[in-house]
Amino acid sequence: MAGNRTFTMIKPDAVGAGNTGAITKMIEEAGFRIVAIKKTQLTPERAGQFYAVHKARPFYGDLCAYMSSGAIVPMILEKDNAVEDFRKLIGATDPQKAEPGTIRNLFAKSIEANAIHGSDSDENASIEGSFFFSGLERF
Ligand code: CMP
């Protein structure tokens, strides 16, 4: 059975452009409840840990530099079928391939600076959420 939580973070391009409020509004209007939220900034080392699964990819170094270049807004979200429904809401990784009306179609600048992250499985949603939040901060 699909789980009811996912993890997201609004990335430095979208936070820096002042789109945190607009994106958060779209998330809530799509039926997701915000369980935890904060504004923070990753060091390059922490970004490297978060994206360790992509270590062998040619874009890994640039991705870690980019993800530590400014503030981010990580969140834990709740909704039935959360992981799949949230990935539909954000659209494809490459904003040029993202469906009209998706968050990346509306706000992303490039395949790297693509506005927002969404977990790709229930297991990763749990791992990624725990990277930023401990149990006491959830409500
Ligand atoms: P995200 O969904 O957070 O997961 C991995 C990230 O790596 C992705 O969003 C993009 O920000 C980045 N990424 C994925 N593919 C590429 C690529 N081909 N070139 C540069 N960055 C990429």
Say if ligand 1 is within 6 A of residue 92 CB.
no
Q: Considering the domain boundaries, does residue 139 fall inside one?
A: no
Q: Considering the domain boundaries, does residue 63 fall inside one?
A: yes
Burial zone of 129 (CB within 10 Å; 0-12 exposed, 13-18 middle, 19+ buried):
buried
Separation between Cα atoms, residue 24 and residue 8, nearest integer Å = 11
Q: Considering the domain boundaries, does residue 54 fall inside one?
A: yes
Ligand 1 atom 13, closest CA: 112
35: domain range?
Answer: 5-132
Say if ligand 1 is within 6 A of residue 120 CB.
no
Which one of the listed residues 50, 90, 117, 132 is annotated catalytic? Answer: 117
- Taking the centre of ligand 1 as the mean of its atom positions, its distance from the CA of residue 52, in whole angstroms, is 12
Rg (CA), the chain: 14
pLDDT at 2 over 90: no
Q: Considering the domain boundaries, does residue 80 fall inside one?
A: yes
Q: Give the phi and the psi of residue 106 in degrees, each rounded to 5.
A: -85, -35
Does 54 qualify as catalytic in the annotation?
Answer: no
98-132, pLDDT tens digit by residue? 999 999 999 999 999 999 999 999 999 999 999 99
Q: Do 87 and 118 form a contact (C-beta atoms < 8 A)?
A: yes
- Taking the centre of ligand 1 as the mean of its atom positions, its distance from the CA of residue 136, in whole angstroms, is 31
Residue with tokens 């395949």: 111
Name the domain count of the chain: 1
Q: Considering the domain boundaries, does residue 31 fall inside one?
A: yes
Name the average pLDDT for the chain. Answer: 96
Q: Considering the domain boundaries, does residue 137 fall inside one?
A: no
CATH number, domain containing residue 128: 3.30.70.141
What is the model's pLDDT at position 136?
58
How much of the chain exceeds pLDDT 90, in percent?
Answer: 94
